[in-house]
Copies of this chain bind each other. A is one copy, B any other.
């Protein structure tokens, strides 16, 4: 421990994001980015906002973007909280809504940032094991808790719960917040957003990083009852008054209005995913049934580490988590159809067929 460091930092291990190589020659299937360029309307809005008004602070409330988010989901702006990527939104939710004497519950195999937030904010938690098929068993969450966090679809498995399943979970936990992290929902899972009017304990987070192809812009949001949004606004107001810059506000607002781009690209990615799933199966992979823009797959005979290394040698990046139960799985982002074909060709070169 360093002499000037606060006790809070003792033992903290930061989240490790996927590699962001600076060379352009790599096929990047490791961080679940969208393979398509973002909406041209978003890019045009950003360029238009790159003017002398950048000398001025942004709107601290992000009112125009809140209206766009609310409109996209049939909600009111009082149901919307904005953040600098959904990671910031999640951080504020962990501190403001999920830190309680009773433990927070989330799956043992899930987004690996959750236990990091818990360590940062000293939040008690229990990891609930996925079942033998890597599915969330909702019955396992019927225990005293201070909150529940579930990504839907789950990451890195890609497996989704139905809205009916989430409804039963919400109804069974009226005293604690259920946070449904919908980073990947737009690629084919059922959103919990229509349940917001019904459940005061439901908080949904979404991001523009995946389905809107704006990972480089850092915009995420939470949706929920005004009381939950108020908690997030309180944390935000004590942390950073202006988390979204003028360019992010402008670009995100325009992106949310481009429904044609959104439907087209999400549809293409979902189709490529289903095709890739089938093709990987033919090469000897077990592929979990994904509703996200990635697949989680392990080969019958080859270790995950050896495959990841062999792909890297062919300039293809995929992600692997060196953790119990899943160390042999590769998490592979769904690229364009041509990129999926390049991946499969590389796997054949490695000797799979």
Contact = CB atoms under 8 A, between A and B. Distances in A.
B6 A99 contact: yes
Given A91-B239, A216-B246, A50 B55 contact: no
Interface stretch (A112-120, A270-278, A304-312, A344-352): A112-120
What is the total number of copies of this protein in its complex? 2
A22 B239 contact: no
A262 B320 CA distance: 46
A65 to B, nearest CB: 13
Nearest to A123: B6
B99 A8 contact: yes
Given A14-B237, A57-B17, A97 B5 contact: yes
Interface stretch (A70-78, A81-89, A157-165, A190-198): A81-89
A4 B217 contact: no
A302 interface: no
Contacts of A251: 50, 54
Interface stretch (A31-39, A127-135, A322-330): A31-39
A242 interface: yes
A44 B84 CA distance: 23
Given A55-B214, A238-B119, A245-B248, A2 B84 contact: no
Nearest to A95: B8
Interface of A: 2-9, 12-15, 17-18, 20, 22, 28, 31, 33-38, 42-43, 46-47, 50-60, 84-85, 87-88, 91, 95-100, 116-117, 119-121, 175-177, 200-201, 209, 213-218, 227-228, 230-231, 233-248, 251
Closest 10 CB pairs of A and B: A14-B237, A37-B52, A216-B246, A54-B216, A55-B213, A6-B99, A120-B238, A46-B50, A218-B245, A17-B241
Given A4-B201, A4-B227, A245-B247, 8 more contacts: A15-B241, A54-B251, A55-B216, A84-B240, A117-B238, A119-B238, A245-B245, A245-B248
